[in-house]
Amino acid sequence: MKQWILSISLLALAALLLGACGGAAKPQNSASASSGTSLDISYENALPVRNQLLLGTLRLDEGAHPLSATQAATLLPLWQGVRGTMNSGAAAQAESDALLKQIEAALTAEQRADIRGWKLTQADLQAWATSQGIAVGTGNAAASGGMGSGVPGSGQTLTTEARATRQAERGGGADSGGLSKALIDAVITQLESKKAN
């Protein structure tokens, strides 16, 4: 019950922040125009916008344009709101998109350019997962009943195209539900640490 109340509170906060912001950055390419983002999702094996922002946020601290403590304080409740929508499963796509637009708007132009320039792919996400000790499915085997695990309906018998479609629908690669949650938890932990400093 408390988790449900927290999720609703975070969504209400996100709605208030969206209204206060008055809008987000304008799209810079036609492939992402429908989602209202400046990130490119048209290249081969491109990560969905959410995962580009997550993985990109983690990478920013390794580059020339790290997040500031002020940005961390702004981004933390937004990413917590995204996690709440993922956990509830009941959030509309529009709510999720609104949070992602606010997250992108909280980044500087240089930070957005860095993330766009990295052209993050499924391979980048899998490399991050491996570096964190997270088992990632390859289409032939996956941990915990992920796609390709041999569990009926898991995707093992799907064609490459059908598997890619299913992965895209789920927001990423094989076993992406657990991987996306691990990724968002890593970003939240990073933001909490940066905000505290």
pLDDT digits (tens, 9 = 90+) for 79-137: 999 998 887 766 567 888 899 999 999 999 999 999 999 999 999 999 999 999 988 66
Domain edges within the chain = 47-196
pLDDT value of residue 94? 82
pLDDT digits (tens, 9 = 90+) for 137-191: 654 333 333 333 333 344 444 444 444 434 444 444 444 568 889 999 999 999 9
When pLDDT is averaged across residues 31-35 and rounded to a whole number, the result is: 45
pLDDT value of residue 88? 73
Residue 15, pLDDT > 70, answer no
How far is Cα 185 from Cα 23, in angstroms, rounded to an integer? 27
pLDDT value of residue 89? 64
Higher pLDDT, 22 or 70: 70
pLDDT value of residue 12? 52
The pTM of this model reads: 0.65
When pLDDT is averaged across residues 7-17 and rounded to a whole number, the result is: 52
Residue 30, pLDDT > 90, answer no
pLDDT value of residue 122? 94
pLDDT value of residue 57? 96
